[in-house]
């Protein structure tokens, strides 16, 4: 098989959560352990950082990878889902896994795939571990898929575990309450391994504290160690003043302009501090340089990403209640004449709660991604219309974008959000016609 045939085989042969939903989830680690056993358990050769959380874990993972790379470490990064290319999931120093490795690994594992019947995610986790081992990375930042305790990535013993925050998402898999979801995420906490919690709240703090104590894991709540005193933002840059407990201020520049990145920044800085305590050589000036160049160093996209001016067109992968709340807060801080929102969602989200958080004064373009898990655009439009939102339905994101571009003037803003898969299907060539 060539590369295109290989990826087509993986999509076709393996159940994929991002396309079909919960039926693709294997609720134990048996398959991942069996796959890694077949290739000599490469995860045991790796130093890792494990990142979980409802929102922000992708941004935190990319920031940490950028910082480690900038400080001279050969750095692996495993994230999901991808936006444009399967190989985005597995990177070393910002460079995607080679097509040749994907093909060779899949060919080598084909009999194991047919014997074990893993999910798409399980085979990509094993692929990432082997690739990082062959590339002799000094450290790999590993983002969970969802949850933590039973997530396929949870066969590593990291240098530090990170849990960004807890929100109501994937309830059909993780549980119906914040406490249940927190217990699942707390499953990445390992014996004698420090854990950083990005955001503390009364519903989850006790769960994390007790879990860490039971495993003798030192625990840090990032938002108790430092806080944001002030921020300034432009379309492409965020400047944040971060104060520590001694009231010492440091100014950081981020090339990720969404204000929600301030919380992620604080989580990252607390994690860096734990790594420094453990002997990792991470310099403050290199950290600042990395944070100002995260997109360049890691290839991160889709986080309040401005892809066009006049009208301003913004992509954001916010797709659940907490994520859309943060997007709505960002909208309030942004200057524009009229607001156009293109939105598409998947069936298993709390769609009603998401719609309630969006501004009513916008013009809406309801659409869907071209995957089985997508909520039909007519159903999304009908639900929004019941709540008093106005707009029309479009069969795909690009027909919606064409309509919005026709109606928007140069001072307007067009926001595309609601699903990673919607963002992935945007044809940027439409902006240059």
269 and 312 share a domain?
Answer: no
275 and 392 share a domain?
Answer: no
325 and 355 share a domain?
Answer: yes
380 and 259 share a domain?
Answer: no
273 and 202 share a domain?
Answer: yes
Residue 83, Cβ density class (10 Å: 0-12 exposed, 13-18 middle, ≥19 buried): middle
344 and 280 share a domain?
Answer: no
What is the helix (H) or strand (E) element at residue 259, kind and residue range? none
Specify the long-range contacts of residues 294-297, CB closer than 8 Å, at least 24 apart: 294/62, 294/63, 294/66, 294/254, 294/255, 294/256, 295/255, 295/256, 296/94, 296/255, 297/65, 297/66, 297/69, 297/70, 297/94
Selection from 80, 114, 92, 95 nearest residue 10 by Cα: 114
41 and 158 share a domain?
Answer: yes
**Contact (Cβ atoms closer than 8 angstroms) between residue 324 and residue 352:** no
Q: Which of 298, 313, 342 is the last residue of a domain?
A: 298
Q: What is the pLDDT of residue 128?
A: 98
- The CATH number covering residue 46 comes to 3.40.1190.10
DSSP 67-89: HHHHTT--EEEE-SS-SS-GGGG
**Contact (Cβ atoms closer than 8 angstroms) between residue 90 and residue 127:** yes
Give the three-class secondary structure for 315.
Answer: strand
196 and 81 share a domain?
Answer: yes
DSSP 162-189: EE----S--HHHH-SSHHHHHHHHGGG-
**Contact (Cβ atoms closer than 8 angstroms) between residue 330 and residue 324:** no
Which residues are CB-neighbours of 411 under 8 A, at least 6 positions away? 310, 311, 336, 337, 338
112 and 247 share a domain?
Answer: yes
User: Structurally, how many domains does the chain consist of?
Assistant: 2
Q: Which of 243, 263, 298 is the last residue of a domain?
A: 298
355 and 417 share a domain?
Answer: yes
32 and 75 share a domain?
Answer: yes
Q: Which of 269, 298, 327 is the last residue of a domain?
A: 298
Across the beta sheet with 238-244, what order do the strands follow?
226-233, 238-244, 249-254
Q: Are strands 95-96 and 90-92 parallel, antiparallel or unpaired?
A: antiparallel
What is the helix (H) or strand (E) element at residue 56, kind and residue range? none
Selection from 179, 147, 143, 433 nearest residue 308 by Cα: 433
Distance (Å, whole) CA 62 – CA 155: 21
Distance (Å, whole) CA 172 – CA 22: 8
Q: What is the pLDDT of residue 15?
A: 73
Q: What is the pLDDT of residue 171?
A: 47
Selection from 139, 146, 135, 132 nearest residue 160 by Cα: 139
Which domain range does residue 331 map to? 305-432
68 and 181 share a domain?
Answer: yes
Distance (Å, whole) CA 3 – CA 119: 19
Local confidence pLDDT in tens for the 433 residues of the chain: 999 999 999 988 887 644 444 454 556 899 999 999 999 999 999 999 999 998 999 999 999 999 999 999 999 999 999 999 999 999 999 999 999 999 999 999 999 999 999 999 999 999 999 999 999 999 999 999 978 999 999 999 999 999 999 876 544 455 568 899 999 999 999 999 999 999 999 889 999 999 999 999 999 999 999 999 899 988 889 999 999 988 999 999 999 999 999 999 999 999 999 999 999 999 999 999 999 999 999 999 999 999 999 999 999 999 889 899 999 999 999 999 999 999 999 998 899 999 999 999 999 999 999 998 899 999 999 999 999 999 999 999 999 999 999 999 999 999 999 999 999 999 999 998 6
Q: What are the residues facing 365 on neighbouring strands? A: 342, 392
- The CATH number covering residue 331 comes to 3.90.190.20
């Amino acid at each position: 098989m060539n590369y295109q045939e290989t990826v087509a085989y993986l999509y076709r042969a393996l159940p994929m959560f991002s396309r079909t939903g919960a039926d693709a989830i294997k609720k134990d680690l048996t398959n991942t352990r069996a796959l890694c056993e077949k290739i000599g358990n490469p995860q045991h050769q790796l130093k890792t950082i494990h990142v979980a959380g409802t929102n922000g874990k992708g941004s935190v993972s990319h920031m940490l990878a950028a910082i480690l790379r900038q400080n001279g470490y050969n750095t692996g990064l495993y994230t999901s889902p991808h936006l444009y290319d399967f190989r985005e999931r597995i990177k070393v120093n910002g460079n995607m896994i080679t097509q040749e490795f994907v093909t060779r690994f899949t060919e080598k594992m084909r009999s194991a795939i047919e014997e074990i019947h893993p999910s798409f995610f399980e085979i990509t986790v094993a692929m990432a571990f082997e690739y990082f081992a062959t590339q002799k990375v000094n450290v790999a930042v590993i983002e969970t898929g969802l949850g933590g305790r039973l997530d396929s990535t949870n066969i590593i013993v990291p240098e530090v575990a990170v849990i960004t925050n807890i929100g109501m998402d994937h309830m059909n898999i993780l549980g119906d309450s914040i406490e249940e979801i927190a217990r699942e995420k707390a499953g990445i906490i390992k014996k004698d391994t420090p854990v950083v919690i990005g955001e503390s709240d009364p519903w989850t703090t006790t769960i994390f504290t007790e879990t860490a104590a039971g495993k003798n894991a030192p625990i840090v709540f990032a938002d108790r160690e430092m806080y944001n005193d002030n921020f300034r933002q432009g379309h492409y840059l965020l400047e944040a003043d971060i104060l520590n407990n001694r009231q010492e201020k440091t100014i950081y520049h981020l090339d990720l302009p969404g204000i929600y990145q301030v919380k992620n920044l604080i989580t990252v800085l607390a994690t860096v501090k734990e790594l420094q305590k453990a002997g990792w050589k991470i310099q403050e000036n290199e950290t600042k340089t990395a944070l100002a160049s995260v997109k360049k160093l890691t290839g991160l996209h889709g986080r309040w990403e401005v892809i066009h001016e006049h009208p301003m067109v913004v992509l954001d992968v916010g797709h659940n209640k907490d994520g859309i709340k943060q997007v709505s807060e960002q909208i309030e801080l942004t200057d524009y004449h009229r607001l156009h929102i293109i939105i598409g969602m998947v069936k298993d989200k709390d769609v009603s709660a998401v719609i309630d958080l969006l501004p009513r004064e916008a013009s809406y373009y309801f659409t869907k991604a071209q995957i089985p898990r997508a909520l039909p655009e007519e159903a999304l439009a009908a639900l929004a219309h019941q709540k008093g939102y106005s707009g029309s339905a479009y069969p795909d994101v690009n027909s919606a974008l064409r309509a919005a571009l026709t109606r928007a003037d140069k001072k307007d803003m067009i926001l595309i959000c609601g699903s990673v898969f919607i963002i992935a299907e945007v044809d940027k060539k439409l902006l240059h016609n």
